[in-house]
Amino acid sequence: MLYPIDTPTRTTKDLSGIWRFKVDDEKGDFTPDQVLTDSLSLAVPASFNDQVSIDAIRNHVGYFWYQTDFQLPHLIAAERKVLRFGSATHEAWVYLNGQEIGHHKGGFTPFEMDITDIAVAGNNRLTVRLSNMLDHTTLPVGNYSETTDAHGRLVRQVDENFDFYNYAGIHRPVILYTTHKHYIDDIAINPQLNEDFSKAQINIAVKTHQLDQHQVLIELFDEEDQLVASGDLNEALVIENPQLWQPMKAYLYTAKVSLKDGSDILDSYSEPFGIRSVEVKEGKFLINGKPFYFKGFGKHEDTHIHGRGLDNAANVLDIQLMKRIGANSIRTSHYPYSEEMMRLCDREGIVVIDETTGVGIMESFNFDVSILEDGNFNDATFTSLDTTAAHEQVIRELITRDKNHACVVMWSIANEAATYSPGALEYFTPLFELARELDPQKRPLTLIHIMMSNPQTDLVSSLVDVICLNRYYGWYVSHGDLDTAEAQTRGELLAWQEKYPEKPIMYTEYGADTVAGLHSMEAAPFTEEFQEDYYAMNHRVFDEFDNFVGEQLWNFADFATKIGINRVQGNKKGIFTRDRQPKMTVRSISERWNHIPNFDYKA
């Protein structure tokens, strides 16, 4: 799916702004052809939750209405018109001028609708019904239940099967764009480098809605806007001595695709792309043939007021802070991030592990991981949950959306699923096969292992190209005892290395909740000193293993979660506070990472 941009043949209209908003009381007294009365004024894009001051609305589980009006000029009457949502969390029914035009389930990927025959010149009314409900068929997974109150009214409840707040709303831009009736529908770019990187063949597949006699012209431009190759779909496009896209040193070419009828250009679209290779080989993760070392974070789309809504300023600041302390990578934990963030990572040279919404695939999710100690724990996850259809859908939509991004070097199929439970291999095998089939660049695949999934209990690690571990020795296990935690960390890494000597291993989460400003002379958990000691312990062990290829700590910044005795105003594992102020450990992390090169750290 193409990101909406203005071109010589396309126009965009951003419908962001102040919309009307109202909780659906489910009395059936509102229909989408009506004006939404008795409504609140809310900003789009943003989560609705933190924009309201009424707890009953902020924490409502069920349905919501959004509505706005927009004008269309007579000048575009003959154009094809498309309405595109960057995302709407978690399920959306879309109405234009009272008529239902689309439905989408899944809160973190884009969807669009052709409105050519419904939109009118002049005023148009756009109405959206949203649901923030999650259950055992959705991703993320939620535990859904219903009760009735004292007045007999239905009360819906969702207990998140994951550790972040269930923000909802129209989280990303709503764009109306136009094209010719014959148009470019999709572009897939797959650069292939020769052995010494002196030549790149740029393989481009173009999907069009066209008549047979139309021609597709492809032109490749460098960053100075100089034409470096051109041809049609049947010609091999080659760039001699290409500038490579490198971590922290990005270089982007542009592929301009034109759909022509003789000398007339019916549609054109320009797609940025980088040229780089990605390979897993002999226990190393190679980018452009060199061993790469991941330094960075799991993080969240989570900011004050915006919630999970797009915040471009926060994205820019986050990447600047990462670069300052020597980070080079992120994982989009635990859902696809905005297209705007992905495009920014392309431009800034930030390496991305791109993750699906496959979080919460565990029947018995909780904070007690002591159950792993007997080595025989399993549950009924793969008989009690029914997430296959949702999982297939998000893999398709994620790879369709992000396939051309140079920053994406690996797909993460799920986070902390019950891969130790019977049925896990049967569940995940077709999902890995689907991802490998869909990705034209054939990137490596992984799945993020929870602590119960260790070398003895895990059933799916044979599927992954890189062993990615979320580990909390010293926090959830052996809490506060860093000597024991160090031995446990070392022991498990030795076991993984013995089992898979050819596979790289990295940590995609490790951390300790830390309250900013809390200090102690003792080794006291929750203090800033303990957080610093905790990371120092892990790093000593990481450096002992040649096939240990990266450290992405948890978390970049404190973030919002549901209320619970394990959380005080959210998860405090950030090395930055939620408003991006540093905790003490930032200095030692910065010292370490700025002295670890991106390449050949353990060569």
Instruction: Say yes or no to pLDDT of 216 above 90.
Output: yes
CA–chain centroid gap for 53, Å, is: 29
21 and 83 assigned to the same domain: yes
Q: Catalytic residue at 498?
A: no
Q: CA torsion, points 588, 322, 308, 1, in degrees to nearest 10?
A: -150
Is residue 118 domain-shared with residue 221, that is, in the same domain?
Answer: no
The CATH number of the domain holding residue 405 is: 3.20.20.80
Q: What is the pLDDT of residues 374-418, one digit of tens each?
A: 656 668 899 999 999 999 999 999 999 999 999 999 999 999 999
6-41 pLDDT tens trace: 999 999 999 999 999 999 999 888 999 999 999 999
The residue that leads in pLDDT, 123 or 564, is: 123
Residue 393 neighbours by CB under 8 Å, 6+ apart? 105, 106
**In a domain? residue 600:** no
Residues 205 and 315 in one domain: no
Q: What is the pLDDT of residue 369?
A: 62
Look at residue 564 and tell me whether its pLDDT is greater than 90.
Answer: no
3 part of a folded domain: no
Q: Are residues 251 and 212 in the same domain?
A: yes
Report if residue 598 sits inside a domain. no
Average pLDDT over residues 248-257: 98
d(CA 64, CA 85): 16
Is pLDDT at 236 greater than 90 in this prediction? no
CB under 8 Å to 228, separation ≥6 — which residues? 220, 221, 222, 239, 253
Domain boundary among 273, 307, 342: 273
Please give the Cα distance from 470 to 350 (Å, whole number): 21
Same domain, 435 and 484: yes
Q: Domain check: are 312 and 388 in the same one?
A: yes
pTM over 0.95: yes
Structural domain that includes position 38: 11-179
Out of 13-17, 395-399, 446-450, 563-567, least confident range: 563-567
Confidence of residue 519 (pLDDT cuts 50, 70, 90): very high
Q: Pick the residue with more confidence: 568 or 253?
A: 253
Contact 495, 514 (CB under 8 A): no
* pLDDT more than 90, % of the chain: 91
Q: In Å, how far from its chain's centre is CA 48?
A: 20
Our separate counts of H helices and E strands in the chain read 9, 30
Average pLDDT, the chain: 95
pLDDT level of residue 364 (50, 70, 90 thresholds): confident
> Quick one: pLDDT at residue 377?
65
Residue 390: which H helix or E strand, with range? helix 388-402
CATH of the domain at 90: 2.60.120.260
Predicted confidence (pLDDT) at residue 367 exceeds the cutoff of 60: no
256 Ramachandran zone, left/alpha/beta (phi>0; psi -120 to 50): beta
pLDDT band at 368 (very low <50, low <70, confident <90, very high): low
| Catalytic choice (91, 301, 509, 528) | 509
pLDDT at 365: 72
If residue 209 lies in a helix (H) or strand (E), which one and from where to where?
Answer: strand 199-209
Which pLDDT belongs to residue 214?
78
> Catalytic residue among 79, 301, 355, 416, which?
416
Report the number of distinct structural domains present in the chain.
3
Q: How far apart are CA 104 and CA 138, in angstroms?
A: 12
Same domain, yes or no: 473 and 550: yes
Q: Which residues of 24-53 are buried (b: 16+ CB within 10 A; e: fewer)?
A: eeeeeebebeeebeeebebbbbbbbbbbbe
Work out the average pLDDT over 134-153: 94
> Of 91 and 566, which is predicted with more confidence?
91
* Rounded CA separation 267/287 (Å): 35
CB of 191 closer than 8 Å to CB of 201: yes
Q: What pLDDT is stored for residue 603 in this prediction?
A: 80
Residues 259, 240 share a domain: yes
Examine residue 545 and state whether it is found in any structural domain, yes or no.
yes
Average pLDDT of the segment spanning 479-489: 97
Considering the domain architecture, whether residues 161 and 188 belong to the same structural domain is answered as no
**3-state class (DSSP) for residue 495:** helix
- Residue 499 parent element (H or E): helix 482-499
Q: Does the structure show a pLDDT above 60 at 248?
A: yes
Pair (357, 260) in one structural domain? no
**Tokens, residue 135:** 């259950």
CA distances from 33 to 96, 114, 125, 126, 312 (A): 8, 19, 8, 9, 33
> Is 6 within the bounds of a domain?
no
Among 273, 299, 333, the domain-final residue is: 273
61 in any annotated domain: yes
Question: 367 and 387: one domain?
Answer: yes
The answer to whether residues 133 and 158 belong to one domain is: yes
The enclosing domain of 207 has a CATH number of 2.60.40.10
Residue 569 falls inside a structural domain = yes
Q: Tell me the pLDDT tens digit for each residue of 280-326.
A: 999 999 999 999 999 999 999 999 999 999 999 999 999 999 999 99
Domain-located, residue 603: no
- Would residue 509 show up in a list of annotated catalytic residues for this protein? yes
**Where does a domain end: 179, 202, 230?**
179
